[in-house]
Amino acid sequence: MIELQALYVPIIFILSLVVSSRLFLERQRKRAPYPPGPTPKPVIGNALDIPLEKSWKKYMEWSKQFNSGIIHLSALNTHIVILNTMEDIVELMEKRSANYSDRPSLKIFNILGASVMTGFLPYGPTWKTHRRLMDEALKKDVLPSYHHIFSGKVHLLLDQFLHKPDSFREHIDELGASITMAIAFGYDVTPGVQDHFVEPAEFALNTGAGLIIPGRTLLVVFGFLCYIPPWIPGASTQRLCADAKEAIMLTREGPYQYVKHKMDVGSSKDCVLARVLERDSGDLGFIEDKELLKNIMASFYFGGVETMKASMANFMLAMTLNTRAQKKAQDEIDSIVGSHRLPSYEDRASLPYVEALYREVHRWRPIVPTSLAHATTRDDVYKGYYIPKGTIILSNIWAISRNEDNYPDPDSFSPERFLNLDGTLNDDTVSYAFGFGRRICPGRYMADKVVWLMIVTVLATFNISKARDGTGNEIDIDPDAYTDGITSHPLPFKCSIICRSEQAESLIRKASEVAWKDLAK
């Protein structure tokens, strides 16, 4: 009898597999189809189709190939949907945001230590606490109180351009870090000096950004590989992740402890963290969980710095390649502002061509070409297509910026596309550059303020053009040479940065002297 029962067990198991498989296939036949996309292979699906470089361009190519704004991929039971049109992005990310505001649960987030950062948290109470603080600290009506910080740091950038123009990329990176550290932690980064807070944060940013986009490494597609110890031969990515995780932990702890110490000795500067730690400051609220607060403030740094760095580098490349647009913007500044002072925020409304140029920088080279990945919290059907729960959703901002119906000759740099015939600005504010829905970039208003001021003051004081070699010939630049991380930066390039006049040099020296004095306080 026992032997007979033992015989039944495998038979029952096999029958249950057959029945469950038939039920699964029946459900597959009844449900709506997936969106179109490359034909998946058995078992691995599209794992080998996911592009490792310039994925946004391949997604746009597939959109044209399959004549669909919505593209579907699958890899080892993970579904990916790419949205290539503004219509689809607005419908799903904005109108159906309750279902499309989650983040993918990727093992690599955990081994990087990034799963506690705002950008990678699942949609829920913890994420809402993060966003509440960030939105309050960076809302539009608060930013004017930071104008003196923005201006001082930008004026120091001009001084660095004047004295060390060949190191312009380092100066730009430093500006983003300097402004974010000042606002978040009341900490002043000394220009031109390696900083013990900024160095690990930059390492974490540069390392992590290249590892966590779908398809970029095997650890993203094959999550089980994350459990391989970093000391195993061949596990170079795991070792890199371990180093990045340590750097993230340093960024969580170092600036936080700095502000705590300054508060204890009564010498802290006004900053976001100090105001949160003061129980009586009701504007930002008080967060009891100190580990949660460290995560929020580290996220504040990472998000703010990366956005500004990429935008300002894109501007420098655009001006190097497009001196005609540069000259038109300079002519407008000269006629409105004059040469007796540097431009300020009060001039913004009077400089429509500069504003159009600013918008074109964001369109011409989107800083996050596929946006940060969202995920669905439940099954959905859209335009007759089935989108399962847990699907990774990518908004292809690159494709939006290349829509020829809206942007004729999209690869050219043309600020005029944002101007009406009478020279006034049109309604296209390129808001898509900062994301969509409930996950839209919380630092977008600060980035807008800083990048615009950097652009207008650099245009007012410097001429930017291609560098020349030893024989006097211009050094060619590949306009498509960009990195492949979450944020896309121009690869290193050379350019000529020359002060426009003695008057401009005098203005820079005077403004930087004031900024240096403020830094010494």
Binding-site entries = 441
Token readout for 489 is 């930066």
Residues making up the binding site for heme: 441
Tell me the CA distances in angstroms from 5 to 14, 15, 450, 495, one per residue in order: 15, 15, 75, 81
Q: Are 415 and 357 in contact (CB under 8 A)?
A: yes
Handedness of CA 307, 308, 310, 315 (dihedral sign): positive
Handedness of CA 349, 354, 360, 362 (dihedral sign): negative
Distance from C-alpha of 291 to C-alpha of 270, rounded to nearest angstrom: 21
Task: With H, G, I as helix, E, B as strand and everything else as coil, classify residue 187.
Answer: coil
Q: Are 299 and 119 in contact (CB under 8 A)?
A: yes
Token readout for 303 is 């998000």
Q: Minimal CA–CA distance to 366: which of 203, 206, 490?
A: 490
Tokens 């944002």, residue located: 418
DSSP letters along 268-322, please? Answer: PPS-HHHHHH-TT-TTT-----HHHHHHHHHHHHHHHHHHHHHHHHHHHHHHHH-
Distance from C-alpha of 122 to C-alpha of 131, rounded to nearest angstrom: 12
Instruction: State the amino acid at position 43 in one-letter form.
Output: V
Q: Rounded to the nearest 10 degrees, what angle do helices 147-163 and 502-520 cross at? A: 120
| Alpha-carbon 481 to chain mean position | 18
| Helix segments in 186-235, DSSP class H | 198-209, 218-221
| Per-residue b or e along 357-376, where b marks 16 or more CB atoms closer than 10 Å to that residue's CB | bbbbbbbbbbbbbbbbbbbb
